[in-house]
C-alpha cells in the first residue's frame, strides 16, 4: 500500500477496525451470510476511501482553486467507486444480506467523518 500521512492512515485503519468489530460478532449471532455481508459493506467503505486518498495523494498545485478541483475529482472518483462496488455486490452475490452490508458501510462513513473532525 502506498504511504499516506498519519491522518489518512488512521482513518483507513479505523474503518477496518469498525468493519471487524461489526462483522466478527455477527458470525456467531447471525451466521456466515450476515458476517460476510457486513465485511463486504465495510470493504466498500474502505476501498472508496482508499480511492479518494489515492487521488488526493499528490496534488500538482497548492493553489486553492486547484486543490478544490482535485478534491471534487477525488470525490467523484470515490462516488463512482462506491456505486460500482455496490452494483457488483448486488449483481454478483445473490446471497448478500442488504441490512448488514448497508449498516457496516454507513459505519465506515461515520468513522470517516468523525476522524476528519478529530484527526489532526
- Per-residue pLDDT tens digits of the chain, which is 120 residues long: 567 788 888 899 999 999 999 999 999 999 999 999 999 999 999 999 999 999 887 767 788 888 888 889 999 999 999 999 999 999 999 899 999 999 999 999 999 889 878 866
Buried b (16+ CB within 10 A) or exposed e, 105-116: bebbbebbeebe
- Report d(CA 49, CA 81) in Å as an integer: 9
Number of domains in the chain: 1
Domain that holds residue 63: 6-118
> What is the pTM for the complete model shown?
0.90
Asked whether residue 60 is assigned to any structural domain, the reply reads yes
What would the grid cell of residue 35 be?
A: 458476517
Asked whether residue 1 is assigned to any structural domain, the reply reads no
- Report d(CA 22, CA 26) in Å as an integer: 7
Amino acid at each position: 500500500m502506498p504511504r499516506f500521512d498519519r491522518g489518512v492512515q488512521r482513518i483507513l485503519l479505523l474503518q477496518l477496525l469498525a468493519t471487524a468489530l461489526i462483522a466478527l460478532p455477527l458470525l456467531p449471532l447471525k451466521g456466515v451470510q450476515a458476517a460476510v455481508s457486513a465485511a463486504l459493506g465495510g470493504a466498500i467503505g474502505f476501498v472508496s476511501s482508499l480511492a479518494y486518498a489515492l487521488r488526493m495523494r499528490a496534488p500538482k498545485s497548492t493553489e486553492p482553486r486547484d486543490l478544490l478541483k482535485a478534491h471534487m475529482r477525488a470525490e467523484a472518483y470515490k462516488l463512482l467507486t462506491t456505486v460500482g462496488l455496490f452494483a457488483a455486490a448486488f449483481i454478483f452475490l445473490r446471497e448478500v444480506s442488504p441490512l448488514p452490508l448497508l449498516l457496516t458501510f454507513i459505519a465506515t462513513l461515520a468513522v470517516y467523518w468523525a476522524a476528519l473532525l478529530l484527526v489532526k
